[in-house]
Amino acid sequence: MDKTTLDIWVGLFVAIGIAALLGLAMKVGNLTSNTLGETYAVTANYENIGGLKPRAPVKSSGVVVGRIDNIKFDTKAYQAVVTLKIDKRYPFPKDTFANIYTSGLLGEQYISLEAGGDDQFLKEGDRISKTQDAVVLEKLISQFLYNKATEESKK
């Protein structure tokens, strides 16, 4: 076979391979949507984080503004310490609420940020004090049953 034809075929082969990899990265993977620019890290303490996992999204009004960097357990306060990495483009006030919600009934859990009214913004290393734990289904049910029982006894 002619040398140039060979080169053309191999070039085509490599080009298709790179195109496939790019397709996998952009269309299938989340290389485009996952790239946070520069981030700042803040922490938040929770009594119970439920099924929250590292790399879960941090959303505000449903828009992904950051990701969860890591989750640790603080043995002094016996609380979970969650480190959030938030994109530098999105500054949040100091009194922002960080609540753990579940997407859908059984979906993955994420942290939702609800901006407060403070004129100071969160900086690198700050702690979000206003947090709300994950809803644990068993707790909810037992509370409901307890309420029902007290209603019954009042009658």
Q: Which residues bind another protein (CB under 8 A)?
A: 1, 3, 6-7, 9-10, 12-14, 16-18, 20-21, 23-25, 27-31, 33-34, 55
Residue number, 83 or 103, with CB nearest to another protein: 103
Question: Based on CB atoms, which residue is closest to another protein, 97 or 101?
Answer: 101
Q: Pseudo-torsion of CA 50, 54, 55, 56, nearest 10°? A: 10
CB of 5 to another protein, least distance (A): 9
CA–CA distances in Å: residue 137 to residues 32, 121, 133: 35, 34, 12
Distance in Å, CB of 139 to another protein, minimum? 25
Q: Regarding beta strands 131-132 and 97-102, do their DSSP bridges make them parallel or antiparallel, or are they unpaired?
A: parallel
Shortest CB 77 distance to another protein, Å: 28
Shortest distance in whole angstroms from residue 97 CB to another protein:
24
CA distance 103 to 38: 26
Question: Is the distance from CB of 102 to CB of 95 less than 8 angstroms?
Answer: no
Q: Which is nearer to another protein, 10 or 149 (CB)?
A: 10
Q: Which residues neighbour 73 within 8 Å (Cβ) at sequence distance 6 or greater?
A: 79, 80, 81
Of residues 7 and 124, the one with the C-beta less far from another protein: 7
Distance CA 45, CA 83 (A): 9
Instruction: Select 66 or 96, whichever has its Cβ closest to another protein.
Output: 66
Least separation in angstroms between residue 111's CB and another protein is: 16
**CB 48, CB 134: distance < 8 Å:** yes
